[in-house]
Amino acid sequence: MKSSTKILIGVIVAISFLLGFFIGTTVDSQKADKQELAGTIGKLSVKEVNATENNINLRSDLLDNAALLKRYSQYYNFQSSSCAKLCEDIDFAIQTAENVPEFREDFSEEIENVKQYRATLEKAHKDILLASTSLQQLSQLNENEFPKIMTNANIAVKQIKDKQNCLDVYVESIEKFMTGNNPYKFSDLIQAHDMFAVNQLVVAP
């Protein structure tokens, strides 16, 4: 009798434990899913709202502060001109690479990555240039357009920096290529190497 009672109690405890574990897991899972979803939406919403509010406040500050407006204009003018110059350098580097069959065959993937980065720069330059021209015409600009313009420009600047690692790899590729070849025969590749090496120094934090 006592043995049967112990067995029954053990079964009940085991069932209760499994049931509690199952219910707890289900509840926690649902809670986690909701929290994850809410957190994602919350972060995205807060990020967008903050960016919009900050840019609206920035517009007011710029209209009231000529010195601040000048500094912002200089910043985006610099970013725009730097992007345009980098596009020119990349065009030269791509053309140079394609004119050297040995290099083109050995480092085709590196060249393709630089081409894709060039496409990123093209769009980025348009967004940054728009911000630069908008700052010059800030008083005439529709205040609802300004936040989006500035946000896109800031994203563009970040993309330029975040994705430029392909240029570092390209520089390393030229160095590898030159170890087995006479550098005097590939002056254009050396020039492309030097341009991007200088760019590394300019953009380094």
Q: List the one residue out of 113, 70, 66, 122 whose CA is nearest residue 94.
A: 113
Name residue, tokens 């980098």: 86
CA angle centred on 157, ends 97 and 191, rounded to 5°: 25
Which pLDDT value is given to residue 101?
94
Which pLDDT value is given to residue 59?
85
Asked whether 159 and 120 are in contact (CB, 8 A), the reply is yes
- Domain segments of the chain: what residues? 1-64, 66-203
pLDDT in tens, 139-174: 888 778 888 899 999 999 999 999 999 999 999 999
Asked if residue 16 has pLDDT above 70, the reply is no
Asked whether 62 and 93 are in contact (CB, 8 A), the reply is no
Q: How many CB atoms lie within 10 A of CB 186?
A: 20
pLDDT in tens, 93-124: 999 999 999 999 999 999 999 999 999 999 99
Name residue, tokens 């009798």: 1
**85/110 Cα distance (integer angstroms):** 20
Which pLDDT value is given to residue 139?
86
Please tell me the pTM assigned to this model.
0.68
CA distances from 175 to 91, 101, 199 (A): 19, 16, 16
